[in-house]
Amino acid sequence: MKIKVCGLKDPVNIQAVARLKPDYMGFICYGPSPRFIAELPAEFVKDLSIESHKTAVFVNESLENINLMIDQYGFQAVQLHGNESPEVCETLKQKVTLFKAFGLDSEFDFSICQPYEGHVDYFIFDTKTDKHGGSGKTFDWSVLDRYDLNVPFLLSGGIGPDNIDQVIKITHPMFYGVDLNSRFETEPGVKDIEKLKTAFQQLRQTATNEI
């Protein structure tokens, strides 16, 4: 079970999260988000010597700006959370690990994801809202039973301390990991380290037991 912690923007908090060694650490590069990294120095992120993959989250950003920020911040992965095409995904996949996010509800048609198969490394399945993630709301996870593509996915959207035990019970063969964000915050962009520690222990204990 891979663990991604997303929406980081405070340097001290980032270092505390890094010590927990999540597999991916997400930085929101989207202005309207309350977790936007506008005041986080690029040099700080680039110089971070951590085991986690530093992941940039974009929404309908130009390829030029995405590539510029990859170089400035030293990002090793990119998550696209807008209406980006499979062609854009393929271009970026040649440079970084590529996540493509989709907002799900009970009526979601997974055929929408099919054109991206082979052009992304992973999908992220989030809760469908009128915004782009960070809602703290879950969707009906039984919808995942209809997913039959050969692309691993991370589960996002409303995962918190009160439902980690339900996440652990998901047995879909393409279930790759979880994306933790707003339900583990003391304020937007600042994570509750103790809550994360507990969640990490639960998730990693499950992975150990499965081995």
- Specify the number of domains making up the chain: 1
Query: Cα–Cα distance between 143 and 138 in angstroms, integer?
Result: 12
Distance CA 102, CA 113 (A): 8
Residue 43 CA to its chain's centroid (Å): 22
Closest to 144 measured CA to CA, from 105, 117, 112, 115: 105
Say if residues 99 and 79 touch (Cβ distance below 8 Å): yes
CA triplet 57, 60, 62: central angle to 5 degrees?
95
- The whole-model pTM stands at 0.93
Mean pLDDT of the chain: 94
Residues 198, 141, 96: CA angle, nearest 5 degrees: 70
What is the pLDDT confidence band of residue 137, given thresholds at 50, 70 and 90? confident
DSSP state of 42: H
Name the CA radius of gyration of the chain, rounded.
16
Provide DSSP, 20-53.
T--SEEEEE--TTSTTB-TTS-HHHHHH---SSE
The Cα diameter of the chain in Å comes to: 44
Q: What tens digit of pLDDT does each residue of 14-53 get? A: 999 999 999 999 999 999 999 999 999 999 999 999 999 9
Could you tell me the residue range of the domain that residue 124 belongs to? 2-210
**Could you tell me the CATH number of the domain that includes residue 53?**
3.20.20.70
